Chain A
Amino acid sequence: MLDRLTRSIEALLFASDRPLSLQDLCELTGCGPDAAAGALEQLREAFEEIGSSIILAELAGGWRFVTDPSLGDVVSQLFEDRRPGKLSRASIETLAVIAYNQPCTKAAVEAIRGVDCDSAVRSLLERGLVRICGRQETAGRPLTYATTDQFLSSFGLLDLEHLPRRREIDEILASGPPAEESGELFPHEG
């Protein structure tokens, strides 16, 4: 039998409608972060030991139970008519550019991809993978986009730092901004 703290954390994660961070778990159980982390590890092992199809995963900044992806074909039947189809290549490329560059304008995405990204951005908005997060204070005040928590959990990411090859892409981006056309209307001389 698991100890009370581990069982409490299990119950919280089972019932919660959002991922619970380590801090959430500490507040809800009144324990310290080390104890909570230990309990999480114990819980993970317990599920693993019995070969459960339930996995303890850390996604979008918090812990949650998810079903084993290898059983996707079985579970997905429950949502067959409600689940959106696979992302198109255009959408996933657009999503990648936004993810590493956020907040970023549509023009910046287009500068990198070299094609119009209108419909890709729209479908990402509809799926809740990106959101409009503001406007850029340049000519035309274009909208800027950022990814959502749903993006992180849909892609199995803990946070944006865990994007694949994060450091490498940042370096490439830093070596010179993409030739974005929506820059300042009257750039400073020199």
Chain B
Amino acid sequence: MSAEACRISLEAFEGPLDLLLYLIRREELDIREVSVARVADQYLEYVRQAEELDLDVASEYLVMAATLAGIKSRALLPGRGDLQEEQESSAEELLRQLELYKAFREVAEELRDSEATWRNAFPAPGERERWSAESPVRLAGQYTIVDLLEALEELSAEAAPESSETLERPRLTIASCISSISTSLAPGGWVPLGQIVGAGSSRLRLVGFFVAILELVRRGWVSFSQKSPFGELRLRRTGRWSEECSTG
């Protein structure tokens, strides 16, 4: 089989049985005359090619591939009566399945034809409601689980908006932190950072004060000391703060 012939995507088939029927038909054989081994080879080639093309091969195709490979390999083993029997019965079952599917595919085709005709026969007048924008009124017994699911879907789609509260983010500017530091950091002594910020402060407040202190240190208005890594930060107001503040 040429690679080109395999290029037909598995998408074109309604599953493994459909593909098998296609392969059999291409050989112009009746289902009962088919050499399972031969068709199995072609089938496996198809699936292999599909996989190579990086297509997502549905699991049912792989299950069928395994079945075919099993039938074929048992057929190749000579002798063993029990294996022979097993092979025949699984090949037989597969052929039956194919015949059954083929029959349904054919009547499906006939049904499709009659639907194509009758879908263009418009009844008068009641059934028109079927396609009306407004659903027809139905009696209690005429509802199905599908209606329930649809209703549930509609409900959840139009569910009342979740009650919400508007939370105001506390506004904390660096300037306000600096002015707060200026009141708690009296000239002269060393004051621990924790005392300035206040115990149990929010993370936002801590960050705000820390940035404010970095700014003050950059300006040279505050000096700091830390005895050990991660130790307590102690701050002291420098002379420059008062000088520049009063002049600026």
B230 within 8 A of partner (CB): no
Q: Is A75 an interface residue (CB 8 A)?
A: yes
Q: How many residues of B contact A (CB 8 A)?
A: 46
Q: How far is the CA of A163 from the CA of B110 in the complex (A)?
A: 9
User: For B194, what are the chain A residues with a Cβ–Cβ distance below 8 Å?
Assistant: none
Is B103 in contact with chain A by the CB < 8 A criterion?
yes
A114-B15, A114-B60 known; A155 vs B118 contact (CB < 8 Å): yes
Q: Is the CB of A95 within 8 A of B108?
A: yes
Contact A115 B114 (CB under 8 A): no
B115 nearest in chain A by CB position: A155
Assess whether B114 is in contact with A156, with CB atoms less than 8 Å apart.
yes
Q: Interface residues of B: mostly helix, strand, loop or mixed?
A: helix
**Roughly how many angstroms separate A175 CA and B97 CA in the complex, as a whole number?**
12
Residues on B with C-beta less than 8 A from A153 are: 118, 123, 127
Indicate if the CB atoms of B124 and A64 lie closer than 8 Å.
yes
A-contacting residues, B104-131, CB 8 Å: 104-108, 110-112, 114-131
Q: Are B107's CB and A169's CB within 8 A?
A: yes
Any B CB within 8 A of the CB of A116: yes
The answer to whether B101 and A72 touch across the interface, beta carbons within 8 angstroms, is: no
- A46 within 8 Å of B by Cβ? no
The stretch that binds B, out of A11-19, A28-36, A182-190, is A11-19
A74 to B27, CA, bound (A): 44
**B159 interface residue per 8 A CB criterion:** no
Q: Which B residues touch A18, using CB under 8 A? A: 126
Bound CA–CA A132/B58 (angstroms) = 27
* CB proximity of B21 to chain A, nearest CB, Å: 10
Contact yes or no, B100 A87, CB < 8 A: no
What is the CB-to-nearest-CB distance from B198 to chain A, in angstroms, rounded to a whole number?
62
Q: Are B14 and A89 in contact (CB under 8 A)?
A: yes
- Which A residues are within 8 Å of any B CB, using their own CB? 14-18, 54-55, 57, 59, 64-73, 75-76, 78-79, 82-83, 86-87, 89-90, 92-93, 95-97, 99-100, 111-116, 125-126, 128, 131-132, 150, 153-157, 163-165, 168-169, 172-173, 175-176, 178-179
